[in-house]
C-alpha cells in the first residue's frame, strides 16, 4: 500500500514538473519568436502526408535560401516551442509540421508563429475518438489556414470536400492541388509500379510538366503536389521546384524502401496504421512486380468496426494481393477467422513479434518484396527487418518509446530470451491455426493444463491436471493413453464428457489439444480449458468465456492452436501470500501443507463450477 501511494505521488510530481517545463519553454519560445519577424514560415497539417510535404518543401525552399524544418516527425503541439528555439533570424525559411490529436491542440503553436503559407493535405479519421466527427477534425486543422495574414497563401487539396470547404471560405489566396478541374497544379496522371519510382504528370498555367521522384506509392502524389504548391506560393519557378525534389528520399517508415544484402526488399510503411490508410500500400503491392509479395500487418487504429470483424476483413483484402500474409500483435489471432471463408494456406498470425521474426527469417528468399504496415509505437515492426541482418535482442512489447528502433541502444543489447518457457523449455513459435470447425454437437471436452511427470505433480502449473483427476476419481473412472495425451471418458447427466490431459509440457499444450479435438470432431463451443492463474489468489476460481492469454504460455499455445480467442477457460488461483519470487520459480515450487488446504477448497469449487457448466449446457455450449 505504501509503495502504491509513493508511486502515485511520484507520477503526480512528474506530471507537474513536466507541465512546468513545457510552460517555461513556451514562454521562452514566445519571447524568442519576436526575433524571427524576417523568417518566412510554412505551416503544414493534415491527417496524412505532413512529414513528406515538410521534407519536400524544405528542399524546394532550401534551394533559394537557408531553411530550417521540423526534425523527423516532431509535430506534437508542445514540441513546436522546442523547435522554434532552434530557429535563427539568419534563416530565410522555416517549415513546421503541426499536428493536432485533440481539440485545441493547434491553439498553442499558433501563438508562437504566424504562417505565411499554410498547407492542409487531407482530413481523415486520424484521432477520430478524440474529435467524434470528421467535421470537428477539419475545424481543428482549418485553424492553420485561419491564422494566415491577409497576404498569406493556402495550399489546399481540391479533391477533399472538407478541405475544399475551408479554402472556399478562407478569404485568402489559394493554390489548389489535385485531380479536379480548377486545380492550380492539376494532376493528369500518376504511375508507381515497383521497382519504378513515383512519376507524375501535371498541368500548371497551361503547360504540362513531368515530375520524377525517389518515392513509391501513388498516394504520395498529393504530398508532391503540395510541396510544389509551396514553391509556387513562395515565388520559385516550378521547373526549379521540380528539380529540387527529384532526389529527396522518403522519411523513415513512410513508404520507405530498404534492400538487404540477401536480396530482400522491405517496404516500410510502419510509422502508423490507421485503417483508412491501408488501401494505398495495398494498391502499391498489387501493382508491384516482384518474385513474391509478403504483407506483414501489425496493429491498426482509427476503425469503426469491432476488432473481431475488422482483422478478418483486412486479412481477406491482403490475401487478394499478397502471396503470404502475416499478422503480428495482440489482435493477430482474430485475423485467422478469415480462413473460415477461404482456402488460403498462406495466412499466419503471431501474437509475439519475436515468434514472427523467427518464422519470417525461415521464410524469406531473394527477390521477395515485404510490406511492413503497422503502428511503430504499438508494434515496432522494423525489428523484423533488422532481425534478417543481425539477431535482435530486444523483443519488448509496447515499450512506450515513440521513435524507431534503429537508434535504440536496446536493439542488440543482450537480454533474457523471451522464448524460454517458465518450465525452462525452449519453445518454437506457433503460428495461429485456422479456427476449429468440428461439427460435434453433444460431446464435451474439458482440457486440463499441466506438465506430465511425477516431479511436477504437486506444483501450481499442474492444478488443471488435478481438477480433472478429482473428477475422474469421484466417478471411479480410468485414464486411457492416446497419441495426443491421456483421456478419461465420462457420462454426466446423459452427456458424453472427455477429460483430456495433453501429452506435452504445459507451454506446448496447444498442438496435441488441437490434434485430439480434430480427431473427435470437437468444437470450440464444446471445449473448456482448466489452468492455473497467477493473477488470482490461491484457491480463487473464475470462469471466463473468452479473452487473451494474460501471459500464460500454456493458454497462449491453446489459443494459437485453436485459432481463436473464443476459448472458454476456468482459472484456478495459485498466487501465494509469499509471492516474492519470479513466475518461473513460483509455478514450479511445490505447495506447502497450508497451501494445500487453500488449494483443495479451490479444486472443490472448480469441480462444482464444471459440473454446473456441463449440466446446464445446451447443444452448442459446454
Which residues are tagged catalytic? Answer: 461
Please name the residues in contact with 607: beta carbons below 8 A apart, sequence gap of 6 or more. Answer: 467, 470, 471, 474
DSSP H or E run through 515: helix 510-519
Tell which residue, 283, 301, 53, has the closest CA to residue 157: 53
Assigned C-alpha cell, 274: 490507421
Spatial distance between the Cα atoms of 415 and 487, rounded to a whole number of angstroms: 40
Where b means 16+ CB within 10 Å and e means fewer, 470-503 reads bbbeeeeeeeeeeebbbbbbbeeeebebbbbbbb
Beta bridge partners of 569: 529, 544
- Helix intervals (H) in 192-246: 221-233, 238-245
* Rg (alpha carbons) of the chain, rounded to whole number: 29
Rounded Cα distance, 497 and 471, in Å: 11
Residues 6+ apart with CB under 8 A from 119: 42, 43, 44, 45, 46, 53, 57, 154, 155, 156, 226, 229, 230
Whole-angstrom distance, CA of residue 368 vs CA of residue 365 = 6
**Strand pairing of 117-120 and 185-191?**
unpaired
What DSSP string describes 109-126? HHHH---SEEEE----ST
Grid cell for residue 493: 447427466
Q: Is 182 exposed, middle or buried (0-12, 13-18, 19+ CB in 10 A)?
A: exposed
Separation CA 115–CA 96 (nearest Å): 9
In 276-425, which ranges are continuous DSSP H helix? 279-287, 307-319, 332-335, 353-363, 376-379, 382-387
**Helix H or strand E segment including 342:** none
Amino acid at each position: 500500500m505504501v509503495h502504491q501511494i509513493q508511486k502515485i505521488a511520484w507520477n503526480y510530481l512528474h506530471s507537474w514538473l513536466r507541465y512546468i517545463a513545457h510552460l517555461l519553454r513556451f514562454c521562452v519560445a514566445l519571447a524568442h519568436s519576436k526575433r524571427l519577424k524576417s523568417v518566412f514560415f510554412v505551416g503544414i497539417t493534415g491527417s496524412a502526408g505532413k512529414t513528406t510535404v515538410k521534407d519536400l518543401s524544405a528542399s524546394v525552399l532550401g534551394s533559394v535560401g537557408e531553411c530550417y524544418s521540423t526534425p523527423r516527425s516532431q509535430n506534437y503541439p508542445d514540441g513546436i516551442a522546442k523547435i522554434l528555439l532552434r530557429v535563427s533570424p539568419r534563416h530565410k525559411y522555416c517549415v513546421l509540421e503541426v499536428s493536432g490529436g485533440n481539440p485545441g491542440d493547434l491553439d498553442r503553436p499558433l501563438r508562437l508563429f504566424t504562417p505565411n503559407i499554410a498547407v492542409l493535405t487531407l482530413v481523415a479519421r486520424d484521432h477520430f475518438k478524440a474529435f467524434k466527427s470528421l467535421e470537428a477534425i477539419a475545424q481543428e486543422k482549418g485553424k492553420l489556414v485561419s491564422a494566415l495574414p491577409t497576404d498569406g497563401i493556402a495550399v489546399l487539396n481540391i479533391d477533399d470536400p472538407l478541405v475544399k470547404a475551408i479554402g472556399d471560405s478562407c478569404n485568402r489566396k489559394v493554390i489548389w492541388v489535385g485531380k479536379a478541374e480548377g486545380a492550380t497544379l492539376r494532376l493528369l496522371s500518376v504511375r508507381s509500379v515497383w521497382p519504378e519510382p513515383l512519376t507524375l504528370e501535371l498541368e500548371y498555367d497551361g503547360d504540362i510538366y513531368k515530375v520524377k521522384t525517389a518515392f513509391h506509392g501513388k498516394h504520395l502524389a498529393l504530398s508532391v503536389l503540395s510541396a510544389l504548391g509551396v514553391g509556387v506560393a513562395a515565388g520559385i519557378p516550378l521547373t526549379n521546384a521540380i528539380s529540387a525534389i527529384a532526389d529527396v528520399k522518403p522519411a523513415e517508415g513512410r513508404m520507405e524502401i530498404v534492400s538487404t544484402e540477401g536480396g530482400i526488399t522491405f517496404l516500410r510503411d510502419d510509422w502508423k496504421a490507421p485503417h483508412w490508410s491501408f488501401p494505398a500500400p495495398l494498391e502499391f503491392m498489387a501493382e508491384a512486380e516482384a518474385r513474391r509479395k509478403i504483407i506483414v500487418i501489425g496493429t491498426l487504429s482509427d476503425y469503426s468496426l469491432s476488432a473481431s470483424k475488422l482483422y478478418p476483413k483486412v486479412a481477406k483484402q491482403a490475401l487478394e494481393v499478397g502471396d503470404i500474409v502475416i499478422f503480428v500483435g495482440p489482435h493477430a489471432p482474430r485475423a485467422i477467422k478469415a480462413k473460415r471463408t477461404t482456402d488460403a494456406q498462406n495466412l499466419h498470425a503471431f501474437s509475439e513479434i519475436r515468434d514472427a521474426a523467427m518464422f519470417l527469417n525461415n521464410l524469406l528468399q531473394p527477390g521477395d518484396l515485404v510490406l511492413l504496415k503497422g503502428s511503430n509505437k504499438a508494434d515496432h515492426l522494423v525489428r523484423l527487418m533488422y532481425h534478417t541482418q543481425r539477431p535482435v535482442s530486444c523483443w519488448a512489447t509496447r515499450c512506450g518509446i515513440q521513435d524507431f528502433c534503429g537508434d535504440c541502444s536496446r536493439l542488440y543489447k543482450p537480454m533474457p530470451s523471451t522464448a524460454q518457457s517458465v518450465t525452462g523449455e525452449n519453445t518454437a513459435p506457433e503460428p495461429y491455426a485456422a479456427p476449429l470447425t468440428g461439427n460435434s454437437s453433444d460431446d464435451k471436452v474439458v482440457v486440463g493444463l499441466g506438465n506430465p511427470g511425477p516431479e511436477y505433480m504437486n506444483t501450481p502449473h499442474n492444478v488443471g491436471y488435478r481438477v480433472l483427476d478429482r473428477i475422474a476419481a469421484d466417478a471411479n473412472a480410468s485414464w486411457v493413453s492416446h497419441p495426443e495425451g491421456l483421456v478419461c471418458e465420462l457420462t454426466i447427466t446423459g452427456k458424453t464428457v472427455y477429460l483430456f490431459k495433453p501429452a506435452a509440457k504445459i507451454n506446448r499444450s496447444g498442438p496435441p489439444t488441437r490434434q485430439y479435438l480434430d480427431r473427435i470432431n470437437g468444437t470450440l463451443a464444446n471445449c473448456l480449458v482448466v489452468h492455473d492463474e497467477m493473477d488470482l489468489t490461491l484457491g480463487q476460481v473464475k470462469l471466463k468465456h473468452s479473452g487473451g492469454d494474460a501471459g500464460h504460455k500454456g493458454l497462449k499455445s491453446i489459443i494459437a492452436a485453436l485459432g481463436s480467442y473464443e476459448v472458454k477457460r476456468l482459472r484456478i488461483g495459485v498466487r501465494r501470500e509469499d509471492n516474492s519470487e519470479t513466475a518461473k520459480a513460483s509455478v514450479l515450487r511445490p505447495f506447502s501443507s497450508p497451501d494445500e488446504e487453500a488449494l483443495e477448497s479451490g479444486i472443490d469449487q472448480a469441480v462444482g463450477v464444471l459440473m454446473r457448466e456441463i449440466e446446464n449446457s445446451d447443444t452448442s455450449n459446454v
